[in-house]
Chain A
Amino acid sequence: MRGRRLLIVVILIIAAAVIVFFRTYDGKPGPLPSVDEIIAELNEYDSEADASVVLENVKLNEQQVFIPFVSNQGIHGMGFLKWENRKWRVARVDMSGRPEVRVTDHSDPSGRYVVWNINPLENVKEFRFYLIRDRNAGMSNGVYYYVPRVQMEMLVNVTEHPYGAMPFPDEWAGIIREDDKLGKAPAANIMDNIFSHSYSQPSTIYVGYLPVYANDASELGSSSKSGDEDTEFLMIMNETDLERPQK
């Protein structure tokens, strides 16, 4: 009697493990679907996509592909495919084509890409991307602190590259990693913070961009974006947000 009951329990556990394994197992990425299939999948995912031309498949990493496309109305949009649960699936469709950050690895800042797909008719000459951390200074818990300003630039010629994906430069990834190391709370739980004098970084690091237009062009209209868990939004910056030191 006891033996049989034990056997049933063991079988149930194995069955549960197998089910969990197959529901979460992604497997090795297979070949990308054909262009027609991609278009069909994008349109199925978002009925407003109305995709007709795929400009390129940009492989971000083994599991993620960036698909800049043009719709039947000539709108430039961005699609993202992700290999999940043994299948290429559409993770997100963005119809604005405005720059955003695509995260391919949440644990490593170098797994981040700036992606965009701009209609050449918009007359954007250049995107200037910035990694910014505001300067900060003062005294906290009897300790003086000073956080240097970070302002690092990455230029993209939009006339030549109306769409594309650029990985964060190594220097950016290095600075973000450094910032993370200090920003991570040393305290293991909330109770620790009551007495602890540990000092948390009072500045946050962010990425923004500034569009540069051709002389006669009107500015990009406003647009809204909604992201998924792999999207990070970019701040739209003004010239006044930047420091221009006299050398």
Chain B
Amino acid sequence: MQIDWHYSWNVVDAAAGLLGWLVVLGLVMRQRQKQETRRPIWKILFVTLAGFFSLSFKIPLFGQIVNIALLPLGLWAAYLFLRKRSWTEYRKFAWIGFTANYLFLVTALLAGFIHDSLYDRNDPSTYLAHLEKAKLVAIHPSAREATFEKVLFSSSLAEAKASDMSSTLDWYRESKLEDGTQYQQERFPYALLEAEARWGSGLHASAYLEADGKGLLLATKDRYYYYRSEKPMLKMEVRE
């Protein structure tokens, strides 16, 4: 579990969430100062939290999935519960809670933009930033002897260029054609394990290396990336 935490920690999202809650707390405190009858803080916070619950739906917006709050369910519940007794004193807090949904919508969008400007998703070194623990594993019998050298890998990674992936189906078919030269050969017979993404990005990619040592395939949750470099990224055994 701890290892999990280390790489999936998205600092920007966490900061945005914290900021959002601090603003809500600030609004609540300001409203409390304004009102004449001061209700206990824990009750106020409870009503605010209740107001936060809503019927919402999710839509994709600017490349993110965001939550749009529609019906203030928590607010209605608070109203039914308090009705005659003290609703007028708590009403504003329940509404602050409901509005917080939109506040978090804004901070989430903002966090998305900031994250994109800090961490380039198209740059392979975002996903393979820390290679201290990296290990190369042959995952297929067609893999030749190869060794991973950090310096060599980093320098060729810096030069690697995004490459066309539209022929993935051909790669697949080549390995199935009995009379082809690639029959039962794996195009990416090496996996690079335990490389870590840039700190705070919350990103992760599985990395595979091509049989000639010059191609890199990254698999992330959203999509695949393919890079080619001029010189080999691995130290390949020389074929006799």
User: Which residues of chain A have a CB within 8 Å of any CB of chain B?
Assistant: 107, 135-139, 143-153, 171, 174-175, 177-179, 181-182, 186-187, 191-192, 194-199, 201, 243-247
Tell whether B105 is near chain A: CB-to-CB under 8 Å. Answer: no
Q: Which residues of A contact B184 (CB under 8 A)?
A: 243-246
Given contacts A148-B217, A175-B137, A192-B65, contact A182 B206 (CB under 8 A): yes
Tell me whether A148 and B223 are in contact (CB under 8 A).
Answer: no
13 contacts between A and B (CB under 8 A): A107-B1, A138-B172, A143-B224, A146-B168, A146-B224, A147-B219, A150-B139, A151-B140, A175-B137, A186-B221, A243-B140, A245-B140, A245-B184
Given contacts A137-B172, A146-B172, A197-B60, contact A178 B224 (CB under 8 A): no
User: Which residues of chain B have a CB within 8 Å of any CB of chain A?
Assistant: 1, 57-60, 65, 135, 137-142, 144, 165-166, 168-169, 171-172, 175, 183-189, 191, 193-194, 204, 206, 208, 217, 219-224, 226
Q: In the assembly, what is the distance between CA of A224 and CA of B153, in Å?
A: 49
Of chain B, the residue at the smallest CB distance from A143 is B223
Q: In the assembly, what is the distance between CA of A122 and CA of B23, in Å?
A: 73
Q: In the assembly, what is the distance between CA of A90 and CA of B223, in Å?
A: 46
Q: Which residues of B contact A146 (CB under 8 A)?
A: 165, 168, 171-172, 187-188, 217, 224, 226
Tell me whether B142 and A197 are in contact (CB under 8 A).
Answer: no
Of chain A, the residue at the smallest CB distance from B170 is A137
Q: Which residues of B contact A181 (CB under 8 A)?
A: 204, 206
Tell me whether B169 and A138 are in contact (CB under 8 A).
Answer: yes
Q: Which residues of B contact A179 (CB under 8 A)?
A: 206
Given contacts A135-B175, A146-B217, A191-B57, contact A246 B183 (CB under 8 A): yes
Given contacts A144-B165, A197-B222, A244-B184, contact A178 B193 (CB under 8 A): yes
Tell me whether B139 and A148 are in contact (CB under 8 A).
Answer: yes
B220 to chain A, nearest CB (A): 8
Given contacts A137-B171, A146-B172, contact A192 B193 (CB under 8 A): no
Choose among B135, B138, B186, B193 the residue that contacts A135 (Cβ–Cβ < 8 A): B186
